[in-house]
Structure 1
């Protein structure tokens, strides 16, 4: 029998102490400690179960030895009696002076050191030889979780001065073991190829270098087995079971074979569905939430969603802790299920306090005016979540956290705690930049979305490029009244060289002033009104086309217009940038009023919707239609009010503003009617999924321009629709928003100008 060395030392020490004074106990007049190097005498005194003045007996001898050994600080302890002085002689264990790890590539050294720290091995700690066994076990566990089953580990301990040791860990990682086969045995209703599509684990494929789905993980396999079980339960196989699972690895540790044995059972249908218990709300409202019905194949997913929908509905009425239990009655002979949803609402819960933390700059009132849940009223889950969404949409915070802890000692009260992390909502820029369209840009701009923490926005800017020189001053108060009516003012002056913007050759000078109002109709709908006075002056150049020269001759070059516009917005987006779910619709119209030099109008409709596919993947559909026309004394729609298409704003892959009709010099002339459509799948950047300020996408764009519905004499609308496909990237950088795209035009026309790589910097998405 192998005797533990610590046990041997304990026995030897006990016998040695006993031999010193086997018969007599004594009163301790003094205690001395010898042999200490790093550990203080006070530490020994704290652990020693005897004090000066006590009677030192045989029982206390054994207790003293045990107490000091249990500290782990010493590898040898002996007790001696010198007169009435108790002498404690110790030999300290060495301390770990240095830990060096070599050969690791797949796992970072910091991660390995953190794992060693958890098992008690770190620099400065006391060295225990037995812990090296745990080191090897932990290292293997770390690498096995990365699929490296052929890894080898070698440890060396070297003695250093002053009773210290250095530990060297040499790792040979080996190659990752790949899943060679996943076999499902016993399935008859569904083929292996269909079932394996539900799995996260897979055999090696062309995306495995990124997804790592061909690397075995016990946790991933457990999740896949649950997905397999859910797949069958959602299709009526109530008695489905996984009989066994085997995971085999080849002798060279390079390939893994997974075998799953299943028993399908029979398909069960719903015989009847019953809703019972204390329903609280009108039954007809809850019946609409039931997603299962008699005659249907049993689906655990639909039954679970029904329970959650009813529970959420009750939560909106203040029954936060409501339980909706599914009670199935299985008829084995009929292969049917009678499903009962039993509703137990529990107590109605009220909100004691709403607490906000983290707002060091934003005033408390700015946050609280976004609250839809009130204190001292019953807790409504939809109002609590909506309040969080409104805080997200402010744009002042990087993150908004939500907790609803129950009040201690009160079964019917909760607190609602919002935690915000503020971001820089202001921008002060002065410098030189570059744009693909505008070239070199000189700019100075001050903007503050949350000036002095009040939630008000102020803009003061200057911009100078080869295309445009612009000055602007803007102010907006989103809560001009307590009811949420907004008020804003804008003043601007700009000169533009259209030729430098890839358009027909002419110049414009515009001075304008406007005032706008926003009126909330309800939580998701808003009306907007705008009054604007604008002075426009156009001038031709030596390269101006016949259309431009003739327009100026017939209509003049200076125009004063006064316009009013109105718009309706329906907005359910979860956040203003990088939206994940929800939608946005906007209808707007503009018309010039009597006293204007031009009689014109504009109408537009835009609708976009975000569909969450998973936590990281979002699909967006967008459609936009705009049209401008003339009336009254104005016989021709002004060309300088045209819409333009092409570039990062609409149809990527075509050069900015170059799509659609052209003038007599074959220069882009824009159109009075515009249509754009987009479909885009957003997903996180590979290997940077935790970085929430960056995302990439795959898109399909389409768009068209026309003049007064007369598409340059062509009757074929499809002829003028342009399509492109490609990849996009967006980054909310500290210096502004950056968007890039690589696109391929699918049906370019002979006169089209294409541009594969495009980018914008400093504009919103």
Structure 2
């Protein structure tokens, strides 16, 4: 006898519905391979004689045997274990129905039949679910496979089940919804293979991101919709938000926006503010969302009585009352209360306490005042049980651990935890927004500190190359690894080459020698620099400087925030001028043996020579920045002195000081102010040209390289006027920066926040103001008509005559111009009489040649720029972490300048990281 036809058909119908609704044609092939059709299971033959109908609770007989048919991977005993049918027991129609359900609920079978031959022999006819051969994703462009695969629970070599496929579809859709793609659909398909195997294909239709078309706010009377939308992370779509990722709909972001609204109102004094409801509705076209917030602002409160109390004997409340910024009568500000709690906790933490600072509020709804008493309570002593560091695949554990100001077993101190976070962040090895998490330990008085870091690129490759008519081919290459081999060591090398400058530099720094908090480093360098000036658009080389040397560095912390850095440097400088351009023959023997001030200027003639500089110096550094790479609060101050004269020919003492402070002023704005200054004094000798201070690009934006400060400007006769050219006439002037013995520089800068999209692109714009000056050099001897020894004579018309200088070859020999009657008339030759193409060939011809001479046009020299008056520039710039590397562009306008200063409107720099 067979189980009731109704139950069997019901089971088959349930199976068909599951296949049709969840797999969308699961049995249909999704690839070229066609799965063979499965023949329907044959219906059992009807018995010759039908017994009389039985009631549902009546026994059909006693079970003699339970047989299994159709199983391939599963043992028969395993299949029998899933049902409650056993030989020797009586069975009913309901028992057969339940056996059918039990087998389907295992999700191991594609088809099940329960047969009864009428003699008590039960047959469980099964067809097993296939085995998954592989999982295939199709259509996923916005979300890569490495993001989806970890979420899929179904895997190769597992038994296929519909519930797992259904769950995986939901997981994939949820991933797309987190990206704001609510229109995404996933259609699972199955390709039947041999040996009862299948490929599961998830066909993904990603759809467009669901944007927020409109944000409505109802109930706000004190602040406009636009003002409140500005506080939210979610933004309305529009032309100004094309780069913002905040325009996509995200339910989690909606919850965050409600908190942002509440925080904003609490900072404005509205202590009773609440968001009544927040609803997101899909637009009729099913593409965008409209979000509506209903708010209740409530009344605005002022601060009432504000006080500080301490229950810790060693902490006097009066000592820390200066940390209370709010006064009675000020508008209530919840953020100010939170900041005050942090400030008190941090200040008391410096003295080794771990207090529990809590504000106690007294609300007066009649007077609309909020009294606050900050209570410093003694919290139970908690100890650091363990410090865990996770996520560092390249950086060694000890590099992170040595930055912790706490050790395992120490008493917990929130100030030291915060300081540890800042120090680890300042390494620059990990992503921003790093925090040290605190987790419960094995006992109530134990805490586990967990540093979950995410490493980022610490190598920097900066490359610039180009060509110009003045510099010819230009290439700058520098490579720097700030975390060499994951040990926190810094290794750098740089090469620069152009027609006018060449340099190579190598450097290495070990921040912890023998695992002690002592840093040492060494720098090796060779620099060839050709100083230059401009005559019109022509660039002329003036002096050539070659410096070769090294520097040894060491640093040791004196306190948590103060470090002493020492250094010793030895360098060999060679400053020279081209003899065939700037030298003259003083003895009449054809040898240029002396610098010609008419051509070079007396200040350049005084600078030439070879000198050894042996210097020792130190710096005292105070630094409590929260992040040395990209600070947002804290300050840094440096006092430095260098003494040259420990051997060598150069003697001076150089002193400099600099300080910078950063403030996070809310809303993502970061304000910074910085200043620096210095003075160098020669010890028994004048300070050399190459040892002085210079100011300009990039330190003073809005001015050119060495564009600020003392300089000598050589003005030639303007043929259009017959007079010496004006100071700012670049066509008939050139200038040489002389540097100064003293300088100062100040900077104010405000970093502006942008939307999420711009932040994701790495854009950080800022506006700035730079001020500074270089001064303090003696006026050099100048060539001018009013000074003795002026080399240019007047003709009978009162005009200055040019000065002639002999033209020499590369070996200092006089050149002649071949006269008419000799070979190659007009060509240069070494022959005084006749012509020869080279010094090795005899002179042919008998006509005397004229000496080749160069013409120096009349000029006068003037001294400008030696003034402590401030130069001032304002502008804006953008830092961009571009695909090509870090990119900085500045546009600045010089508002205050002195005659002779060189200004520059636009500057940029580019590099890359690895």
Same fold, TM-score > 0.5, yes or no: yes
8 Å CA contact 2:306, 2:328 repeated in 1: yes
2:770 matched residue in structure 1: 702
Corresponding residue for residue 506 of structure 1:
543
Say if 2:45 is the partner of 1:45: no
1:45-71 per-residue CA deviation (whole Å, 9 max, x = no partner) reads: 386146987857558645533332212
What is the TM-score with the length of structure 1 in the denominator? 0.76
Q: In the superposition, relative to structure 1, how do residues 378 and 108 fare at CA in structure 2: closer, same or farther (>3 Å)?
A: closer
Q: Alignment partner for residue 523 of structure 1, among 539, 560, 571?
A: 560
- Mapped pair 1:378 → 2:430: no
Q: Tell me what 1:639 maps to.
A: 689
Residue 505 of structure 1 and its aligned partner are, at CA, apart by: 1.7
> Are the structure 2 counterparts of residues 741 and 94 from structure 1 closer, same or farther at C-alpha, using a change threshold of 3 Å?
same
Match of 1:239 among 260, 272, 276: 272
- C-alpha displacement at 1:584, in angstroms? 2.1
Which residue of 300, 322, 332 maps to 1:298?
Answer: 332
270-279 or 220-229, larger mean C-alpha shift: 270-279
Name the CA shift for 1:290/1:644 in 2 (closer, same or farther; >3 Å).
closer
Q: Is 1:557 paired with 2:588?
A: no
In 2: Cα distance, 1:687 partner to 1:146 partner: 14
- Alignment of 1:78 onto 2:94: no
Q: Offset of 1:707 from its aligned partner?
A: 4.0
RMSD value, Cα: 5.5
Matching residue of 2:25: none
Deviation track 1:185-220 (CA, whole Å, cap 9, x = no partner) reads 3x4444444434333445444322122555554444
Structure 1 residue 523: Cα displacement: 1.1
Residue 621 of structure 1 aligns with which residue? 672
What is the SS of the residue equivalent to 1:565?
Answer: strand
2:747 to 677, 691, 702: 677
Q: CA deviation at 1:282?
A: 3.0
- Per chain length, whose mean CA-contact separation is higher, i.e. which structure has more relative contact order (CA < 8 Å, sep 6+)? 2
- Determine if contact 2:181/2:208 at 8 Å carries over to the other structure: no
Q: Which moved more, 1:374-383 or 1:243-252?
A: 243-252
Match of 2:641 among 569, 576, 589: 589
Pairs within 5 Å for 1:64-213: 64-74=99-109, 76-81=111-116, 86-91=122-127, 108=143, 110=145, 117=152, 126=160, 128=162, 142=176, 146=180, 173=207, 178-180=212-214, 182-185=216-219, 187-213=220-246
C-alpha displacement at 1:44, in angstroms? 5.4
The structure with the larger Rg is 2
Corresponding residue for residue 351 of structure 1: 384
1:596-618 CA-partner distances (Å, limit 9, x unpaired): 54444433333334444679x56
Aligned pair in 2 of structure 1 residues 194, 758: CA closer, same or farther (>3 Å)? closer
Paired residue for 1:758?
908
**What runs of 5+ residues in structure 2 fail to find an aligned partner?**
1-5, 16-50, 583-596, 715-732, 780-861
Shift of 1:98: 7.6
Map of 1:727 onto structure 2: 878
* 1:534 and 2:593 aligned: no
CA shift in 2, pair 1:546/1:364, >3 Å: farther
Q: TM-score, normalised by structure 2?
A: 0.65
Q: Distance in 2 between matches of 1:217 and 1:360?
A: 32
2:640 is aligned with 1:607 = no
What's the offset of the Cα at 1:760? 4.8
User: Is residue 677–residue 702 contact of structure 1 (8 Å, CA) maintained in 2?
Assistant: yes
**Contact 1:112/1:139, CA 8 A, preserved across alignment:** no
Deviation track 1:128-172 (CA, whole Å, cap 9, x = no partner) reads: 499889969985995697386xx5969697886768698786859
1:379 CA drift (Å):
1.3
Identify which of 650, 662, 669 aligns with 2:699.
650
Report deviation, 1:478. Answer: 4.2
Asked whether 1:387 is paired with 2:449, we answer no
1:419-430 equivalence runs, <5 A: none
CA contact (8 A) 2:246 2:757 kept: no
| Distance in 2 of aligned mates of 1:688 and 1:43 | 64
1:570 aligns with 2:603: no
1:346-395 per-residue CA deviation (whole Å, 9 max, x = no partner) reads 42011234455677887766655544213333111222332343344445
Cα distance between partner residues in 1 of 2:660 and 2:306: 38
Secondary structure of the structure 2 residue equivalent to 1:24: strand
CA contact (8 A) 2:637 2:659 kept: yes
Aligned residue for 1:8?
A: 10
What CA distance in whole angstroms lies between the structure 2 residues aligned with 1:292 and 1:360? 46
Change (3 A) 1:531 1:719: closer
Give the distance between the partners of 1:246 and 1:423, measured in 2 at CA. 39
CA distance in 2, matches of 1:257, 1:369: 51
Tell me the distance in 1 between the aligned counterparts of 2:877 and 2:271: 45
Moved more, 305-314 or 126-135: 126-135
1:405 match: 439
Conservation of the 8 A alpha-carbon contact between 1:317 and 1:379: no
Report Cα offsets for 1:74-112 as digits up to 9, x if no partner.
45422235778653212456788887766x88x547599
The whole-number CA distance in structure 2 between the counterparts of 1:317 and 1:77 is 76
Please name the residue that 2:63 is paired with.
26
Counterpart-to-counterpart distance in 2, 1:358 and 1:143: 27
Counterpart of 1:593 in 2: which secondary structure?
strand
- Any gaps of 5 or more consecutive residues in structure 1? none
Q: Equivalents in 2 of 1:169, 1:505: separation in Å?
A: 71
SS of 2:737's equivalent in the other structure is: coil
**1:685–1:695: 8 Å Cα contact kept in structure 2?**
no
C-alpha displacement of 1:536: 2.0
